[in-house]
Structure 1
Amino acid sequence: MRLFLLPISTRRSLIYCEKLHEKAPADRSLYDKVTIKANDTWLAWEKDDKAIGNWKNKVTFYGNQALKRIPYEEWGLKTIPALTAKRKQDIIDGKAKYEVLFPGHYLPKERVPGLLEKLAKDRQNMHRSKLIWSVVIMPFTAPFMLIPVIPNLPFFYVLYRAWSHWKALTGSKHLEFLLKHNLPTPAPSAILDEAYTAGLMYPTRAISRAAPRPTLDQVQSVSQVVHQQTNNETEDVMVLQRWNGKLIAEQFKLPEMEVEIERAVEQVEKSIKTKEELMEEKLELEKAAGNGGERAKDDLPDHILGRIHQQAEHVAEEKEAADKAKNKASG
């Protein structure tokens, strides 16, 4: 089984497990059948514009918006299958082969075990607690069954969240069990190194496709620049582009991976942007308070300070141009 540890930024990573081969219909469990049926129904609703008041289309639209808010860490853990008795015994007996692929030039090998342990353990209590609460809340959604035509959507949403937390919890326990038995085996990937380098070298997917694959010298050079500009990865800066998710998924023939990468990149980008805006606001407040903003300036990375100075210069230039136009008109 292959796992992927994909740095989204210099301080946050996505865990992704390669999907197991699809079982034949006759071999599918009840759980598999229900999951497939639910996915097929959701896809059908997305395309159905003939329902009364177009409610199916609206439900899927707002439902997809809600799904985007689920943390990417939860989505990643959900890709790891539950630890069955057979899998557990194979791991104990040394029969199971697990490896974790990662871009070695953008994620030092010695950091991999610590990151995997953090992903496995940090969210277990939260998923366990929210699973329990989801089950407790389910009976209170029963009155919505009285609404005609439309299914009991609150119940199905709470049911889905319970299932999602359960999947993430079982995935984290599987990963934790692997780590206790010195698995998975770290495997630096030259393909991932090239994909990350291309994403940082080129501005679009189309240009990246047309350009030659980055050389080893380019990989080393670009990764070293990232290392230096982020103060040895202590500052949180994006290293993966959203459009690059499709190219990485294609390299490994894992189309489902594309969605997971894009979702993770979108969430981390938003988080970093919000943090930068808060730091900029803090700087402005301290300046307004009359202390010169020295304390906030010490906390701000150089690339944020540079952006603030550029914005200030742009505002000053616009003001100067407006004053000149006003004076010319009055003259």
Structure 2
Amino acid sequence: MRLFLIPISTGRTLIYCKRLDAAVPAKQLSYLDRITNKATATWAKWETAEKGWQKTLVTYGHRALQRIPYEEWGLKSVPPLSSRRETEELRTKKPVELLYPKNAIQTSKVLGLLQKLATERQQLHRKRMWWSIVVAPLTAPFALVPVIPNIPFFFFCYRGWSHWRAWGGSKHLEFLLKENLIQPRSLADLENVYLRHYPHSEGAKTTDEKATAECADGHCEEVMLLKDTDGRALAKMLDAPELVAEVERAVHQVEQQLKRPDQTKKPDQKEADEKNDEKNDEKR
């Protein structure tokens, strides 16, 4: 696998993992992977519906998916840590390449930033995973509704799986850092993307220095480093098609957050707000 650090703004960065291993034969897939593939195929089929409850479900489903924090999507892209994977990585000691733009992230702070991204949401995903697992069986009465599937049940199952994947991905990153299996490397093509938005900096300023330059009277203004249109260019450059949606989602969410007057909230306050947002989504 290969890791990417994609700065979205002067204060927020997207972590994304590209899988490099060859396709695994269906017979070798785990039971959970088979269920996931089946669910993906079913959803893709519903997306082709022109009307009916499938079309309505897909429409509202996409809106709900877009509200899932980009940090969760990024961690989900990292394969969850398993005993087999841990044993294999300890045996081979093969380093995982981490690509980043050195004109947007100081080289000396790359591993520290990755450590933060790997650990700051671990407990959040763990708690929400168990909460979803506990709540899912309580939606059983909805199965009595004819024709339409038990949507609440599948929703909580998906959220539980999503949080499990994000939690597993964060544990994997933490393990790689602990074993010194991360190999950072600045990519010139990535640097050029950020130079297009800051042509006068000539790559001299990092995001930290840009953020400092925006500070006045003790107040620091966070600024965007990417536009949603950069997603396609980055995906093509890094040969990672899924990165289009990841970047577009991250840019949109960060832009919305920066428009809020409470953007300077502390991490624990932001976590509480995220939980309230998720509860509101479930009520909808």
Q: Which AA in structure 1 matches 2:41?
A: D
Kept in 1: contact 2:94–2:181 (CA 8 A): no
* TM-score (norm. length: structure 2): 0.84
Which residue number corresponds to residue 283 of structure 1? Answer: none
Residue by residue over 1:116-175, the C-alpha shift from the partner in whole angstroms, topping out at 9 and shown as x without a partner, is 111111111111111111111112100000000000000000000000010001001001
Q: Which AA in structure 2 matches 1:62?
A: Y
Which residue number corresponds to residue 12 of structure 1? Answer: 12
CA separation in 2, counterparts of 1:171 and 1:37?
22
Larger mean CA deviation between 177-186 and 83-92 belongs to 83-92
Flag the structure with larger Rg.
1
Kept in 2: contact 1:105–1:219 (CA 8 A): no
Which residue number corresponds to residue 138 of structure 1? Answer: 136
- Please give the residue correspondences for 1:288-299 in structure 2 after superposition, counting only pairs within 5 Å: none
Structure 2 residue 242 is the aligned partner of structure 1 residue 249: no
The verdict on how the C-alpha distance between 1:25 and 1:228 changes in structure 2, with shifts beyond 3 A counting, is: closer
Q: Which AA in structure 1 matches 2:8?
A: I
Which residue number corresponds to residue 70 of structure 2? Answer: 72
Which residue number corresponds to residue 277 of structure 2? Answer: none
Which residue number corresponds to residue 183 of structure 2? Answer: 185
Larger mean CA deviation between 18-27 and 265-274 belongs to 18-27
Q: How many residues align?
A: 259
Q: Which AA in structure 2 matches 1:245?
A: G
Gaps of 5+ in 1: 202-217, 279-331
Which residue number corresponds to residue 288 of structure 1? Answer: none
Deviation at 1:112, TM superposition (A): 1.1
Residue by residue over 1:24-57, the C-alpha shift from the partner in whole angstroms, topping out at 9 and shown as x without a partner, is 334333222221221111121121125xxx1110
CA separation in 2, counterparts of 1:232 and 1:87?
43
RMSD across aligned positions (CA): 2.3
Q: Quick check: which one's helix share is greater? A: 1
Residue by residue over 1:102-121, the C-alpha shift from the partner in whole angstroms, topping out at 9 and shown as x without a partner, is 01111111111111111111
Which residue number corresponds to residue 127 of structure 1? Answer: 125
SS in 2 for 1:17: strand
CA separation in 1, counterparts of 2:262 and 2:166?
30
* Alignment equivalent of 1:261, drawn from 222, 247, 255: 247
Which residue number corresponds to residue 147 of structure 1? Answer: 145
* Alignment equivalent of 2:111, drawn from 83, 104, 113: 113
CA separation in 2, counterparts of 1:110 and 1:276?
30
Q: Which AA in structure 1 matches 2:13?
A: S
CA separation in 1, counterparts of 2:206 and 2:107?
18
Which residue number corresponds to residue 95 of structure 1? Answer: 93
* Alignment equivalent of 1:221, drawn from 199, 202, 207: 202
Deviation at 1:86, TM superposition (A): 3.2
CA separation in 2, counterparts of 1:226 and 1:96?
30
The verdict on how the C-alpha distance between 1:103 and 1:277 changes in structure 2, with shifts beyond 3 A counting, is: closer
CA separation in 2, counterparts of 1:171 and 1:44?
28
Q: Which AA in structure 2 matches 1:28?
A: L
CA separation in 2, counterparts of 1:108 and 1:94?
29
Structure 2 residue 22 is the aligned partner of structure 1 residue 36: no
The verdict on how the C-alpha distance between 1:243 and 1:276 changes in structure 2, with shifts beyond 3 A counting, is: farther
Q: Which AA in structure 1 matches 2:12?
A: R
Q: Which AA in structure 2 matches 1:112?
A: V
Q: Which AA in structure 2 matches 1:231?
A: T
The verdict on how the C-alpha distance between 1:226 and 1:114 changes in structure 2, with shifts beyond 3 A counting, is: closer
Residue by residue over 1:77-107, the C-alpha shift from the partner in whole angstroms, topping out at 9 and shown as x without a partner, is 0000012223212333453220111011111
CA separation in 2, counterparts of 1:4 and 1:155?
34
CA separation in 2, counterparts of 1:219 and 1:19?
36
